[in-house]
Structure 1
Amino acid sequence: MRLPPRLTLRSLSLHTKLMLALVVLVALVAGTSTYFLIGHSRERRLVELEERATRIADLYSHSLAQPLWNVDRGAIDSQLAALAPNPEVAQFTVTAVGYGIVSNAKGDQHLDPADSVVRIRSIEYDPPGDAPREKIGEIRVVLTKAVAERAISGARRAILAMVALVVAALYAATFLLLKRMVGSPINRLEEMVDRIADGDFDARCAVESGDELGRLATRVNAMAERLRVSTESLRESERKYRSIVENSLEGIFMLDRSGHLNEANPAMAQLLGYDAATDLIAAAVSDPGKRPFSPMQTGALFDLLSVQGEIAGLELQLNRLDGNPIWVQLNARGRAGDDGSPRCLEGLLTDVTARKHAVENLRRHRDQLELEVSERKRTELELLASRERLQQLSAHLEAIREEERKHIAMEIHDELGQLLTALKMDVSLLRMQLAAGSAAMQKVEEMRELVEKTIQIVRNVVSHLRPAALNFGLASALEWLAEDFSRHAQIVCHFHREGAEPHLADARATAIFRIVQESLTNVARHANASRVDVTLANTEAGIELIISDNGRGFDMAAARAGYSYGLQGMAERARLIDAQLHIESEASSGSVVRLCIQDGSVTAH
């Protein structure tokens, strides 16, 4: 025999739960209201009973004064008998002072001291005249509560019966209303939800009202529409995914821990030399030796996956169906099992055999290139050393050249100058001995002029070989050079000095003089200028020499490309004295040659 399932609150329907909740709520409210209502009625009846007892006792305390003074038992008994039949009366007792009980009247109710209301009043006699009132006895009134309790019990039963009737009627009406307004719509919602759960996403709930159930039906319809759209999107995504997997140029596979291929795409099969992915999977199942990954490789892959969480850019060597080895690059992630460890491996394979061979070729070429680079570096070091030696030799030759110029200038000045001076004196003596206007006199005059011109030429040659003004300082030499340039080139040249005259070594002063001389020569030949300014500034930072003109300027790039030996010579002289040479020039804007010497050994005098 099959037992029915155990009835629990969770197994009840919503309609039943609502009805149970309504019954409990109504019963609770009705019971509480009834309890308080009956309690209030009982209190009211008891208060009325106590007030009635008080009024009776007060009434008798006045009406029995005369009969009790006269000890008229008949009058007393008749007054007591007037109220004794009242169902609430339990006992009336009249007592006289010094006499005891005069009259005692009992009602029909059983006297229970715990369930009685007792009132005792004094009976006083007011004699005529000015005599004071005198207590002559007392009246004891006892009323029972039993009548009131029975009335209260009857009212309680009537109220409870009425509440039960109201609850039953309310339950029946609510049951019908809930069944019509809640149960039927919920049943229809359940039917539609079951259809949607079975895959019928076109099923829709009828929205019959604007209450919560109507809004719920609207949301169920919206949910069904979203499910339909999501399902179609999922199907489209699955189709795209399948298309991507099938048409991918990279091998896509799923590998378990035992080395079996659970899935593979056509590119994977083609990569390993199979016609179709099914052939690859079948071959790996039938023959363990044809599995793409060896047991050692499979174990290593899963170990790496457990440590790193993913595999990125791993290069492996696999064997194709024909036995030829290939190199592949593997990128994979794991799919975790119930215990959290990787259960299978989902990965991509890319054929990098050609790239591997290219990398090997590049590595060989790189090694060869490194050898060539090291050889080139060695050659560059040798060239640098040779350049240093050449620069040293150039500096030495320039020093020797300047020394030779100085020596030649001194030789010419001392030897040839003395001879020409002696010859000039002899010509002058000879001129004094000849007659004026004679042919010999005319010839002597011509000889004297030739000697003067020769002496001037010798002076110019000596000045260009070694200006005598250098012996008096750089500023004097530059001032003489500016005046000489103005005289011969017919271009205005001004020399400016700022600060004290610097004290330089002879080699530095000569190099600066030659740089200025070469700059002025370039101005005379190419600048087509009308004015040149030479400025020598001596500051705490060092010496700055500026040669500027207002000529037509020139193209610096073209000048350097044309191998201007004058500019190269100036740069070489500047380098030999550890100076910085800057040349600025633009078309139609003139040129500026700036020479800077930052040397702590430079002093002024």
Structure 2
Amino acid sequence: MNPSAPLAFALLASLAATALLALLLRTRAAWHADRELLRETFDGASIGMAVADPAGRYIRVNQAMCDFTGYSEAELLKRCYQDITHPDDLDENLRGRARVLGQDEHRFQQEKRYIRKDGQVVWALMVVSPVLDKDGRVTSTLGQMLNIDYQKRVEHDLRTLSAHQKKLIEDERTHIAREIHDDLGQRLTALKLDISLLRLGFGHNPELLRLAESMGGLLDDTMETVRRISSNLRPAALDLGLAAALEWLAEDLELRSGICCRLDIGNEDIELDEDRATVVFRVVQESLTNVVRHAEASEVEIALRSAETHLSLHIQDNGRGFNPKTPSPSRGFGLLSMEERVRALGGNLRLDSAPGAGVSLSIFIPLLDAAPT
């Protein structure tokens, strides 16, 4: 054996060890660099970021999260997300985060309200995603909070303005309808009486009699047109109560379209203030208009119920239905108008449909004043 072989092997082993050590040092340096980059990215992010354990306790937060909530880092690390979540948004948050922890979802998103340290309620778009260990188990969650409070306040102001404008329009429609009914209606009635007197006074003159008959027919058509315009602006039946107004809508639908309309208002006398009664009436009116235009239905059912705290309305047709996820300009604005009317009273609207399954529309309106969110 060559006496220099052991020395060569030793030299090679030394070089290999040196190379491996250098590789380990570079890997460690790269790992530290990546970790530092992630730390700087987390801490310096312009949106709120927080890591929470499975129970929801914060274990790391960035400065943007502190600024958003008004708490210091030390204060947040003594709390859990449940402590600063608005009670009305907590259930949805709990359910969504449970799905992420159970790995049923890779991400959960929610528009939610936070309660700041000073008591102010602020809105954020929150996205929660899981943090996994090397075995793929969820060890914690990462939450990212984008401040949308300004957008939400603008949205609220626009809805308030929209509700106010609709109220002004309804008031003006009511005023015009009553002017038409009281003033123009009386004048047309007087003219009809004059024509009747003409028939009596000049019945011996065939030419004048034919003219009076023609005038009478034209006047009857005009009075019917005036009645229809007045009813469309605001049906006189609303002055008799919501039940009477809905009965008028149902009868008018059957008369105009031949569609069978069944109205179920129970055995109780439902009394509502004018704002709520008008909203329910307009929702039913818009829904029946959509049935005539789009549904190709032969039957419609309307059910109205009043509980101690809220009013519910359900409208179901047996028409062709549609896919609610498919945009439809012909329905979009009508549905949006209904939603805004209901939301302005603190209520909510739900629409369900599928091709061939008809359309089901339900609204729930609190009977006590509630501010829309």
TM range (shorter): 0.5 to 0.7
Counterpart for residue 452 of structure 1: 220
SS for the counterpart of 1:460 is: helix
2:46 aligns with one of 370, 382, 386: 370
Mean alpha-carbon deviation: is it higher for 521-530 or for 497-506? Answer: 497-506
Counterpart for residue 266 of structure 1: 16
Deviation (angstroms), 1:562: 7.8
Distance 2:164 2:216 in 1: 42
Counterpart for residue 251 of structure 2: 483
Distance 1:546 1:435 in 2: 56
Answer 1 or 2: higher relative contact order, Cα 8 Å, separation at least 6.
Answer: 2
Spell out the pairing of 1:180-329 with structure 2 (5 A cutoff).
Answer: 266-269=16-19, 271-272=21-22
1:499 aligns with one of 267, 277, 282: 267
Query: What's the TM-score, normalizing by structure 2?
Result: 0.63
Distance 1:371 1:598 in 2: 36
- The reply to whether residue 462 of structure 1 matches residue 212 of structure 2 is no
Counterpart residue identity of residue 440, structure 1: L
Q: Is the 8 A contact 1:499 1:538 kept in 2?
A: no
Counterpart for residue 580 of structure 1: 348
Q: Is the 8 A contact 1:574 1:580 kept in 2?
A: yes
Distance 2:332 2:29 in 1: 57
Q: Is the 8 A contact 1:268 1:349 kept in 2?
A: no
The 1:268–1:568 alpha-carbon spacing in structure 2 relative to 1, beyond 3 Å, is farther
CA deviations 1:117-151 (Å, max 9, x no partner) are xxxxxxxxxxxxxxxxxxxxxxxxxxxxxxxxxxx
Counterpart residue identity of residue 361, structure 2: V
Q: Is the 8 A contact 1:497 1:535 kept in 2?
A: yes
CA deviations 1:18-54 (Å, max 9, x no partner) are xxxxxxxxxxxxxxxxxxxxxxxxxxxxxxxxxxxxx
Distance 1:447 1:400 in 2: 38
2:313 aligns with one of 522, 536, 545: 545
The 1:511–1:267 alpha-carbon spacing in structure 2 relative to 1, beyond 3 Å, is farther
Counterpart residue identity of residue 314, structure 2: I
Distance 1:385 1:561 in 2: 27
Distance 2:185 2:249 in 1: 22
Q: Is the 8 A contact 1:271 1:351 kept in 2?
A: no
Distance 2:293 2:329 in 1: 19
- The reply to whether residue 385 of structure 1 matches residue 153 of structure 2 is yes
CA deviations 1:266-310 (Å, max 9, x no partner) are 2544554xxxxxxxxxxxxxxxxxxxxxxxxxxxxxxxxxxxxxx
Counterpart for residue 28 of structure 2: 352
The 1:462–1:352 alpha-carbon spacing in structure 2 relative to 1, beyond 3 Å, is same
Distance 2:330 2:293 in 1: 16
Deviation (angstroms), 1:407: 0.6
Deviation (angstroms), 1:558: 1.1
Aligned length: 267
Deviation (angstroms), 1:408: 0.7
CA deviations 1:433-476 (Å, max 9, x no partner) are 22456233222211111111111111111111111111111111
Distance 1:597 1:354 in 2: 60
Deviation (angstroms), 1:556: 1.2
SS for the counterpart of 1:406 is: helix
Distance 2:184 2:18 in 1: 101
Distance 1:435 1:589 in 2: 61
The 1:382–1:586 alpha-carbon spacing in structure 2 relative to 1, beyond 3 Å, is same
- The reply to whether residue 431 of structure 1 matches residue 107 of structure 2 is no
Counterpart for residue 421 of structure 1: 189
CA deviations 1:470-525 (Å, max 9, x no partner) are 11111111111101111112211121221312221100000000001111011101
SS for the counterpart of 1:595 is: strand
Counterpart for residue 519 of structure 1: 287
Distance 1:542 1:365 in 2: 49
Query: What's the TM-score, normalizing by structure 1?
Result: 0.40
Counterpart residue identity of residue 520, structure 1: L
CA deviations 1:242-265 (Å, max 9, x no partner) are xxxxx9xxxxxxxxxxxxxxx977
RMSD: 3.2
Q: Is the 8 A contact 1:477 1:513 kept in 2?
A: yes
Deviation (angstroms), 1:430: 2.0
Q: Is the 8 A contact 2:345 2:366 kept in 1?
A: no
Counterpart residue identity of residue 275, structure 2: A
Spell out the pairing of 1:54-133 with structure 2 (5 A cutoff).
Answer: none
SS for the counterpart of 2:301 is: strand
Distance 2:362 2:170 in 1: 23
Distance 1:461 1:562 in 2: 23
The 1:385–1:438 alpha-carbon spacing in structure 2 relative to 1, beyond 3 Å, is same
SS for the counterpart of 1:352 is: helix
SS for the counterpart of 2:263 is: strand
Distance 2:17 2:155 in 1: 62
The 1:442–1:379 alpha-carbon spacing in structure 2 relative to 1, beyond 3 Å, is farther
SS for the counterpart of 2:364 is: strand
Distance 1:543 1:506 in 2: 14
Distance 1:403 1:561 in 2: 28
Counterpart for residue 302 of structure 2: 534
Distance 2:364 2:283 in 1: 12
Distance 1:581 1:414 in 2: 36
Deviation (angstroms), 1:553: 1.1
1:402 aligns with one of 152, 160, 170: 170
Q: Is the 8 A contact 2:302 2:315 kept in 1?
A: yes
Larger Rg: 1
Distance 1:491 1:532 in 2: 7
Q: Is the 8 A contact 2:290 2:331 kept in 1?
A: no
SS for the counterpart of 2:320 is: coil
